[in-house]
Amino acid sequence: MNILHLDSAITEDASVSRQLTAQIVDRLRDANPGATVTRRDLNEGVPAIDSTWFRAVRVGTDSPTAEEQDRIRTSDTLLAEVQAADTLVIGLPVYNFSLPATLKNWLDQIARAGVSFRYTAEGPEGLLTGKRAIVAYTAAGTPMGSDLDHASGYLRHMLGFLGITDVTFVPADGLAFDRDAGMARAQAAMDALAA
């Protein structure tokens, strides 16, 4: 089993999503002793896509500039990590009712027509199939699945668009109101995970 461990919380050691993703990865490793883990902290920086990225990665040039080569290298590296993974463990802290900008940037970097998805006569088809995603959803006051939650549905949709349809959420929400209850929900969801 190859595990891709993604964190995006800006709160460092105080982050509940980071604590949960670490626990999930530990459980997966315990159940799969030969598992390998690639860890990427998106908080360390994932560049937003821009015109340079579009020219280099989407359009392609015969002689890319050094800046374009850097954009290609970054996008290729992020995508290769997903392609090599069997299971993605993703930390999803909710900021301002949505996902962190770095997590959105990561999704934009790996959503590549002809590589991670393709257009067909029947509509788009995800090419990153056969993978599982476990998402640690954490929020101080945004209940998962509520009208205020613009994070979990978007992430599920994007993963599905790329072909990752086996998505399980480990929710720790309402932490500002009843931290113990939120953590208990997350623990119950982790206990129910099939390793």
Q: What is the CATH number of the domain that holds 80?
A: 3.40.50.360
Residue range(s) defining the domain that contains residue 149: 2-191
Mean pLDDT, the chain, integer: 95
Element (H, E) at 69: helix 66-84
What angle do helix axes 152-161 and 101-110 make, rounded to 10 degrees? 10
Q: Locate the DSSP E strands across 20-164.
A: 36-41, 87-93, 117-120, 123-126, 132-138
pTM of the model: 0.95
- Residue 98 is labelled as binding a ligand: no
pLDDT in tens, 73-109: 999 999 999 999 999 999 999 999 999 999 999 999 9
The structural domain count of the chain equals 1
Q: Is 17 annotated as a binding residue?
A: yes
| Percentage, residues of the chain above pLDDT 70 | 99
193 pLDDT band (50/70/90 cuts)? confident
